[in-house]
Amino acid sequence: MTCKIFALIAAVLLALPAAAQDHDEMTRARDLLIGGAHAEAISLLRPSAEAGHPRAQNLLGAAYEHGLGVAQSGAEALRLYTASADQGYPPALFNLGLIFARGGPGIAPDRARAIEMFDRATALDYSAAFGAYAGYLLETARSQADRDRALTLALRGLDLGDPASIEIMAFLRRTGQAGPQDPTAARRLYEIAALLGSTSAQMQVAGMFAQGEGGPPDYRQAHEYYTFAIEAGRAEALHARGRVVMNWPDQFENGRVIGLAECLAGADLLRRNDWFAICKTQAESYPQDLYAAALAEVPAIVEAFSAMQQ
């Protein structure tokens, strides 16, 4: 799956109302975009967008933002998102919040407009907007009021089951920014977000299981959550999973060889020389034949990981 399709899923699929489960023409167009049939999707979307259909405008705006089947154009994405948002369509308000928060092709970040759009989306109780808005306020906080507002938003998103809000609450509980530090509650919240598909939560909870933070260590659980993140394309999870296996090789079949091989493969994929050094330090006690066996496995692991991303 390409980076552009991942971006489309993040910006649009999660920006669709939970009630919109009907398999109408717009749902088909969305599925075509995700499946790579961009030209067919655009042919379905454009007439409806020109006729003022807010969902079509939002989806076509995403196509322009990410260059899917059309020439990438931030200005056209902005025009279409705005036309949809002007009809009160929450996903378009959310997408405008995102594009103003991070910037887009030819569009400079604009904090005031990002906040305006996120405010409008959350006022409509659009669940996906709560975590994104809370995270943005935490990243750009200018006052305690911003941090307090972020907490309020995350709590509401938590009630709505928004994975990003759950993850933010985990971070706040872990760091003591939402009452006393509570790593046990943090681990539980990260695990919920991880099971809902958040790869960053998968990374966090895997590390907590590996280190015994928030509860007893559980190396197999750490391994499992790193595996989820690997399957979602996180090469750093491959390196981290290898280190878990190296630290507790008796818990895993051929643990010393596979652990070192994965540790090195993750470092290779991300071109991290410092990670290579970590792997080698961890393997200082390895006999030469075992080290050589691990090195021999690295190309196949790198190839398999790369193939998963196609």
Residue ranges of the chain with per-residue pLDDT less than 70 = 1-23
SS3 188: helix
SS3 107: strand
- The per-residue pLDDT for 233 is 95
- The per-residue pLDDT for 11 is 46
Predicted TM-score (pTM) of the model is 0.81
Sign of CA dihedral 270, 174, 186, 249: positive
Domain membership of residue 281 (yes or no) is no
Alpha helices in 196-310 (DSSP H): 199-211, 219-231, 235-247, 255-269, 273-282, 288-308
Domain membership of residue 102 (yes or no) is yes
The C-alpha atoms of residue 96 and residue 87 are separated, in whole angstroms, by: 13
Domain that holds residue 118: 1-122
Domain count, the chain: 1
- The per-residue pLDDT for 244 is 96
The C-alpha atoms of residue 26 and residue 198 are separated, in whole angstroms, by: 26
Domain membership of residue 108 (yes or no) is yes
Domain membership of residue 50 (yes or no) is yes
Domain membership of residue 255 (yes or no) is no
Domain membership of residue 85 (yes or no) is yes
- Each as own residue / partner, the long-range contacts of residues 115-119 (CB below 8 Å, 24 or more positions apart, any chain) are 117/85, 117/93, 118/93, 118/94
Tokens of 154: 């995350």
The string of pLDDT tens digits covering residues 126-167 is 999 999 999 999 999 999 999 999 999 999 999 999 999 999
- The per-residue pLDDT for 15 is 46
SS3 137: helix
Domain membership of residue 18 (yes or no) is yes
CATH of the domain at 66: 1.25.40.10
Domain membership of residue 140 (yes or no) is no
